[in-house]
């Protein structure tokens, strides 16, 4: 077995996996804290990629600035979505909220097609084509950036949730929303911040991964599907679970595609969920209700 | 809620507009359905084809339309690049919207399914699909503009064997009818002239990332990689990612898939890459210049082969209707006219065989300094 190719496939898998983790973390946060299954999550990924593109081309800003602005703007859009849809529906059945999020997803995706055009676009980044040789493994700078930026973002999120006052509020709400409200936590504010964080992460993922592929308005479907696979495998509400499951999915897809069959690369992900859920029905890192 | 007053006012308003409708009832337009990939990975191809067709329709309508002064009206349908959606779009066009003729089949997989729905029912012009079975198993009202992959590969493999001369080759093909056929054709033809085929990888029509496959291909250490990509978005990503894996060999683009947007999106990864195309901007056909002018006036994109096919399709149908005396439903007459006469188009004169297959001249092209130039000996 050629070790170079093996190492390369693992490296590719880790990079892809990190992108999945970024998408999944936001999704699992929204579920863990707010008990909302948000099908529109992938659309914020798409918006992150597109806003980076437009800020870069229309205002001529450099890639990093464009990506940062995009994350902030989409976080704002997430807050707006919460205010318009999820907050007013918070007392309704979980299914109603799920269907509404599906409607939102369709709205954003098709609106995107109208606004941005259905033709594929390419997000410019100075790191996209430059190649780094790390030992025998070849990676573009952009892919290294995806991994590094994701690690930084995740550490920041973890520290925030663990140690900041607001993080504690989020964890309290995750454990028991009514109890948390009774102790004086402003649940509305928790909603707002959670959505801002989740959508910001999704947008960041879109901005980082965008330059490695073509973007078009329907990529949100792909993103939300990957996000859900990872979240289900890692356990709904578990951030550490999302981290492990995401990386695992990335690596297994890469190795499976590389050594078994490319045609079944997607199927491998689904087969993995089935296997994991048979063994651990609540996901790999599931425990009682709460945010971990 | 809507009192009588409102209803009366609405009726009066409607009555006032009726004369306007009456005045336009001179000659009904010739209604042509343009079914193409307007969304998904093939969206750019659909857009280019539509632009080319609309520009040609504008040129023809400005000169008075087709025989009897009838204007050409194009109705657009999205086949999403998938056979299922292509079939349902064709059904809608024929049964609900009652179109006179159909232009479609930009991708082979879609063409192969769509021809069954239109079989012997309506004049169908398939545009860019290359799979031979589209015409080999076609029907009496089916015409196909592009050269088949067999015709392309005969021409192109000679160029690869004699001009490019790699010692070994590996293939990166889309996993559909056309992609698999390309692999078979070129494996045979290139081994025939002594080139070693080291391996191949298939990718899916909906994939957005190709690094796994390209990593495998790179490790085969072939002299050249042949990329059979049907659409611009995946093609550009593949060419870029080939460079990003650090591959230093030659890259050969499949015939009939080169266009200016692909060059623009691929950055520098298409420099010196060869392809084959029936379209060159410096062709001698009389209808080429007016079409180029109209196209440049209406659209921002550079004129491309796909757009030229859209124009050719409209020209073919217009010629057929003219030759059949002006009735767009006289399908037998139109088919007979198209199969017996030379049709003047933007890419030269087309002759259709008994099976509806067009004969297109093919040119060798290369990307030099981000321009697609024809390579002449």
State whether residue A167 sits within 8 Å of chain B by CB: no
A 10 A CB-CB count for B298 gives 12
Segment 4-43 of chain A within 8 Å of chain B by CB: 4-5, 8-9, 12, 16
Q: Mean pLDDT throughout A2-12?
A: 87
Count of CA atoms in the C-beta half-sphere (13 A) of B156 = 27
State whether residue B238 sits within 8 Å of chain A by CB: no
Q: Specify the pairing of strand B196-203 against strand B168-174.
A: parallel
State whether residue B180 sits within 8 Å of chain A by CB: no
pTM of the model: 0.78
Measured CA to CA, the distance from residue A138 to residue A131 in angstroms comes to: 7
User: What residues does B197 pair with on adjacent strands?
Assistant: B169
Closest CA to A216 of A19, A45, A24, A13: A45
Quick: pLDDT tens for A229-240: 999 888 888 888
Of A120, A131, A262, the CB nearest to B246: A131
| Alpha-helix runs per DSSP H in A61-163 | 63-81, 94-116, 141-163
Q: Identify the DSSP state of B199.
A: E
Q: Per mean pLDDT, which of A116-120, A125-129, B71-75 is the most reliable?
A: B71-75
Measured CA to CA, the distance from residue B60 to residue B207 in angstroms comes to: 39
Sign of CA dihedral B215, B217, B219, B224: negative
* Per-residue pLDDT at B23: 46
pLDDT in tens, chain B (377 residues): 566 677 666 666 666 655 545 444 468 899 999 999 998 788 889 999 999 999 999 999 999 889 878 999 999 999 999 999 999 999 999 999 999 999 999 999 999 999 999 999 999 999 999 999 999 999 999 999 999 988 888 999 999 999 889 999 999 999 988 899 999 999 999 999 999 999 999 998 888 888 888 988 998 999 999 999 988 888 999 999 998 888 889 999 998 888 888 898 888 889 989 999 989 887 888 999 999 999 999 998 889 999 999 999 999 999 999 998 889 999 999 999 999 999 999 998 999 999 999 998 888 999 999 888 888 76
Closest CA to B168 of B201, B194, B202, B200: B194
Quick: pLDDT tens for A152-164: 999 999 899 889 9
Pick A94 or A82 by higher pLDDT: A82
Q: Identify the DSSP state of B202.
A: E
What ipTM, to 2 d.p.? 0.75
CB contact under 8 A, B209 and A212: yes
User: What residues does B199 pair with on adjacent strands?
Assistant: B170
A 10 A CB-CB count for B333 gives 15
CB contact under 8 A, B39 and A16: no
CB contact under 8 A, B209 and A16: yes
Question: Which residues from chain A sit within 8 angstroms of residue B267, using beta carbons?
Answer: 129
State whether residue A263 sits within 8 Å of chain B by CB: yes
How far from B375 is each of B109, B219, B275, B280, CA to CA, in Å?
A: 31, 31, 10, 11
Measured CA to CA, the distance from residue B264 to residue B60 in angstroms comes to: 31
For chain B, which domains are there? 30-147+282-361 (3.40.50.2300), 150-277 (3.40.50.2300)
Q: Identify the DSSP state of A62.
A: -
A 10 A CB-CB count for B341 gives 15
Question: Which residues from chain B sit within 8 angstroms of residue A213, using beta carbons?
Answer: 208-209, 237
State whether residue A181 sits within 8 Å of chain B by CB: no
């Amino acid at each position: 077995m050629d070790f170079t190719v093996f190492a390369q496939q693992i490296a590719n898998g880790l990079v892809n996996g990190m992108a999945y983790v970024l998408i999944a973390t936001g999704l699992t946060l929204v579920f863990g804290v707010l008990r909302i299954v948000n099908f529109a999550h992938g659309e914020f990924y798409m918006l992150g990629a597109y806003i980076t593109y437009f800020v870069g081309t229309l205002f001529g800003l450099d890639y990093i600035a464009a990506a940062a602005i995009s994350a902030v703007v989409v976080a704002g859009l997430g807050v707006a979505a919460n205010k318009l849809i999820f907050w007013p529906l918070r007392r309704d059945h979980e299914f109603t909220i799920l269907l509404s999020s599906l409607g939102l997803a369709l709205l954003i995706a098709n609106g995107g097609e109208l606004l941005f055009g259905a033709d594929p676009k390419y997000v410019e980044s100075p790191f996209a084509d430059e190649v780094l040789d790390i030992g025998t493994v070849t990676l573009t700078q952009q892919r290294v950036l995806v991994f590094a930026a994701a690690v930084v973002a995740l550490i920041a999120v973890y520290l925030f949730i663990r140690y900041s006052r607001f993080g504690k509020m989020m964890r309290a709400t995750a454990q028991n929303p009514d109890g948390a409200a009774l102790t004086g936590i402003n649940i509305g504010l928790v909603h707002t911040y959670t959505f801002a964080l989740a959508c910001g992460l999704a947008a960041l993922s879109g901005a980082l991964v965008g330059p490695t592929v073509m973007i078009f308005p329907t990529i949100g479907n792909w993103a939300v599907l990957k996000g859900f696979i990872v979240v289900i495998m890692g356990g709904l509400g578990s951030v550490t679970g999302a981290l492990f499951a995401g990386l695992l999915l990335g690596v297994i897809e890469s190795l499976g595609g590389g050594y078994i069959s490319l045609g079944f690369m997607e199927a491998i992900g689904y087969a993995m969920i089935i296997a994991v859920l048979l063994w651990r029905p609540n996901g790999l890192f599931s425990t009682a209700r709460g945010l971990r | 809620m809507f009192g009588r007053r409102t209803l009366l006012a609405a009726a009066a308003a409607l009555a006032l507009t009726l004369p306007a409708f009456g005045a336009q009832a001179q000659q009904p337009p010739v209604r042509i359905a343009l079914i193409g990939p307007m969304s998904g990975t093939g969206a750019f191809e659909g857009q280019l084809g539509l632009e080319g067709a609309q520009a040609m329709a504008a040129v023809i309508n400005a000169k008075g339309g087709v025989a009897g002064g009838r204007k050409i009206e194009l109705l657009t349908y999205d086949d999403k690049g998938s056979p299922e959606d292509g079939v349902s779009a064709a059904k809608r066009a024929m049964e609900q919207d009652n179109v006179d003729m159909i232009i479609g089949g930009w991708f082979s997989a879609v063409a192969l399914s769509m021809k069954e729905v239109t079989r012997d029912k309506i004049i169908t012009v398939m545009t860019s699909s290359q799979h031979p079975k589209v015409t080999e198993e076609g029907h009496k009202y089916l015409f196909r503009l592009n050269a088949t992959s067999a015709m392309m590969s005969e021409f192109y493999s000679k160029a690869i064997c004699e001009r490019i001369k790699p010692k070994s080759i590996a293939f990166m093909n889309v996993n559909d009818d056309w992609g698999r056929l390309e692999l078979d054709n070129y494996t045979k033809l290139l081994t025939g002239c002594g080139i070693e085929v080291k391996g191949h990888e298939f990718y899916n029509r909906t994939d957005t990332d190709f690094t796994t496959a390209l990593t495998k291909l790179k490790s085969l250490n072939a002299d050249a990689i042949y990329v059979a990509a049907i659409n611009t978005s995946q093609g550009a990503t593949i060419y870029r990612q080939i460079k990003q894996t650090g591959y230093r060999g030659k890259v050969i683009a499949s015939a009939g898939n080169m266009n200016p947007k692909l060059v623009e999106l691929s950055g520098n990864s298409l420099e010196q890459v060869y392809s084959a195309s029936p379209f060159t901007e410096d062709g001698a056909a009389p209808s080429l210049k007016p079409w180029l002018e109209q196209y440049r006036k209406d659209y921002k994109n550079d004129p491309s082969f796909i757009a030229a096919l859209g124009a050719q399709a409209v020209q073919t149908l217009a010629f057929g209707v003219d030759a059949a005396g002006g009735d767009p439903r006289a399908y037998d007459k139109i088919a007979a006219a198209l199969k017996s006469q030379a049709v003047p188009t933007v890419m030269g004169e087309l002759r259709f065989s008994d099976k509806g297959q067009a004969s297109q001249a093919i040119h060798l092209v290369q990307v030099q300094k981000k321009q697609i130039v024809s390579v002449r000996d």
